[in-house]
A and B are shown apart, each in its own frame.
Chain A
Amino acid sequence: MLSITPNIEEKPKKKYSGLSRRAQITRNLTLTIPATILALMVIIAIFADLAWLGLPNIGLAPHNPTSGVITDRFLPPSFMEGGKSEYLLGTDRLGRDVLSRVIHGARISLSISMLVIFITAFIGTVMGIISGYLGGRIDGFIMRATDMALSFPGILLALLLAVSIGPSYWTVVLALSILGWAPYARMVRGEALKLREVDFVAQARIIGTSPMRIMLRHIFPNIINSLVIMMTLSVGIIIIMESTLSYLGIGITAPTASWGNMVADGRSYLDTAWWISLFPGIAIGLVVLSGNFLGDWLRDRLDPRLRQL
């Protein structure tokens, strides 16, 4: 007799790892590594010292960043010949520890970029939504202001500000914010223009929602995606701008350490004591790259057209 029981072959169980190897690498490169680097930088910046807890002598920085031992000047990093083990990344022309200055510089550079990003994103979003949603004359006015902000040389304005109110932390923030909102306004306006014509906004008008409420409840939440991406991507730009200003001597002034003025400081000794400029330079590079990668990842992640399931 023939057996009519079908021979059900057991399918070989495929090991399901969720992501292919290639996707895994991409993910590490654009998400895990950059996010870790940025998080570490923030932690380093916060715990550079515990002055904010009333304990200025405890912290990650091994030395005082603003005063050095003049006899220990121009010491190379400890892993090189002639380096001292207490100065891991060497010392600068005043005998200050480069590592401690990089750690404290993170505070200045990161806090400036955070501040500037939030200020510019806020102003730009408000302007952009008003401009795009209300349209008409207000739109014309805001967009001409944006054009002016975009065409004005930022460095020149920063120089002017530094000369008139003196270089300081807040001068840098002001100088970078005063023009920095324009790209946000442009981008947000475009999104708002698009959303203005969308049915759910029409539906909101139909049930009698006020323009103010429509902008807050219906336009803004649908712009957040693009906004977050743009904010992440501008981390790099702001840090480079801050470094440029400090490098030119119109930003953060000595003895306070910022990555920009450290690079500037070391420029005369590049042939003899390259470590003064190199390490803050690496820090800048790492943060900028991380910001860009993270921004890319967010964009891919939040854009449903690019999302691959």
Chain B
Amino acid sequence: MSKIILQVEDLHTSFFTRAGEVKAVDGVSFYVREGETFGLAGESGCGKSVTALSILRLLPEPAGQIIGGKIILDGTNLLELDKKEMRAYRGKMISMILQDPMTSLNPVFTIGNQIAESVRLHQGLRDEKAEEEVVSALRLLNIPSPETILGEYPFQMSGGMRQRVVGAIAMSCYPRLLIADEPTTALDATIQAQYMALFKDVQKKTNVAIIYITHDFGVIAQMCHRVAVMYAGKIMETATTRELFEAPKHPYTSALINSVPRLDRKDERLYSIEGQPPSLMNLPPGCRFAPRCPIAKAVCREQEPPEVKISSGHSVSCWRVK
């Protein structure tokens, strides 16, 4: 087994608003190994992106604050670093790809210039040396004729190409951890497939650990080695992708998998989960999924379920699992 590069322990992140405290991430723990893709799945507002921003420590201040836990990247607790040290980590050790390639590039600078920014910042390289790094980053992302693309502006490129450039910016300093926040949602299906294949390739070449945030179970099945399913700020179930799809233990996980449209079945209606996720400002006392859970019992509504380990890589938080 390869080395654990990131360990998140009991992370609590809250947003303090005028109406009260919003517990966006409420005690999340997971780890990611080198060369592994770890999926964070869940519906909108479940805390996936906030978890990612917490790791980068880029929460919108002063409202968003990490109030507890540890984020250990390669032996260093990121929460103990000061602002300047954290800046040195960003881009160099951890990087992130955002969702929309159309807006993630600065319209007034050339591609080469924008990729070089990170190289200049973290490696102190200038001019030709920096350009060499930029070209190799573009090559890593399989961008054709990198030398000509250097001088182009974002508006001259297609969405798929831009997202590759965004990938090249993220990978330009060969970070140990890459967070991808739904990087393919804005792309069309064929480009999406290409992009995912590309990232598998990049991972093989660089051994980077990837946290892949998505709500798309199809993408998870293709990309991830292990998956955590989040619901209302908490991880409900963590398992290897194979186990998760073959034997989901948490009722929420099975419900999610059931609600994916399938070509091999002819159901009249697509399965959907009744109700709405709870307000993060006012969580129910027991299991947070209990109000929508088809198999909830009395204890589910009263006490939060403990995390149960089923096998070495599979754990679930549910009273129904023994």
Question: Using a CB-CB cutoff of 8 Å, which residues 172-225 of chain A contact chain B?
Answer: 198-200, 202-210, 217-218, 221-222
Give the CA-CA distance A244 to B92 in the complex, in Å.
Answer: 58
- Contacts A208-B89, A208-B90 given; indicate if A217 touches B117 (C-beta within 8 A): yes
Q: How many residues of B contact A (CB 8 A)?
A: 29
Asked if A207 contacts B91 (CB within 8 A), the reply is: yes
Partner of B87, one of A202, A203, A210: A210
The interface residues of chain A, by DSSP majority, are classed as: helix
A54 contacts B by Cβ under 8 Å: no
Partner of B90, one of A200, A205, A221, A222: A205
B158 contacts A by Cβ under 8 Å: no
Asked if A202 contacts B62 (CB within 8 A), the reply is: no
> Using Cβ atoms and an 8 Å threshold, which residues of chain B touch A209?
87, 91, 117, 121
B96 contacts A by Cβ under 8 Å: yes
Give the CA-CA distance A222 to B90 in the complex, in Å.
Answer: 24
Give the CA-CA distance A120 to B100 in the complex, in Å.
Answer: 37
Surface stretch bound by A, among B25-33, B101-109, B238-246: B101-109
- Contacts A209-B117, A210-B87 given; indicate if A203 touches B104 (C-beta within 8 A): yes
Asked if B104 contacts A136 (CB within 8 A), the reply is: no
A129 to chain B, nearest CB (A): 15
Kindly supply a per-residue 1/0 record for chain B positions 81-117, scoring 1 wherever the CB is within 8 Å of any chain A CB and 0 otherwise.
0000001111110011011100111111100000001
> Using Cβ atoms and an 8 Å threshold, which residues of chain B touch A208?
87-92, 118, 121-122
B135 contacts A by Cβ under 8 Å: no
Classify chain A: how many residues form its interface, as a range: 10 to 19
Asked if A200 contacts B87 (CB within 8 A), the reply is: no
Give the CA-CA distance A110 to B262 in the complex, in Å.
Answer: 72
Partner of B169, one of A136, A198, A207, A217: A207
How many A-B Cβ pairs are below 8 Å? Answer: 65
Asked if B90 contacts A203 (CB within 8 A), the reply is: no
Give the CA-CA distance A212 to B109 in the complex, in Å.
Answer: 18
B166 contacts A by Cβ under 8 Å: yes
Kindly supply a per-residue 1/0 record for chain A positions 246-289, scoring 1 wherever the CB is within 8 Å of any chain B CB and 0 otherwise.
00000000000000000000000000000000000000000000
- Contacts A199-B98, A200-B103 given; indicate if A206 touches B91 (C-beta within 8 A): yes
Give the CA-CA distance A218 to B104 in the complex, in Å.
Answer: 12
Give the CA-CA distance A210 to B118 in the complex, in Å.
Answer: 11
B197 contacts A by Cβ under 8 Å: no
Give the CA-CA distance A217 to B106 in the complex, in Å.
Answer: 9
Give the CA-CA distance A248 to B152 in the complex, in Å.
Answer: 55
B220 contacts A by Cβ under 8 Å: no
> Using Cβ atoms and an 8 Å threshold, which residues of chain B touch A221?
106, 108-109
> Using Cβ atoms and an 8 Å threshold, which residues of chain A touch B173?
207
Question: Using a CB-CB cutoff of 8 Å, which residues 253-297 of chain B contact chain A?
Answer: none
> Using Cβ atoms and an 8 Å threshold, which residues of chain A touch B106?
200, 204, 217-218, 221-222
The 9 closest A-B pairs by CB, nearest first: A207-B91, A208-B90, A208-B91, A199-B103, A199-B104, A207-B118, A200-B106, A221-B108, A208-B87
| Residues on A facing B (Cβ under 8 Å) | 136, 198-200, 202-210, 217-218, 221-222
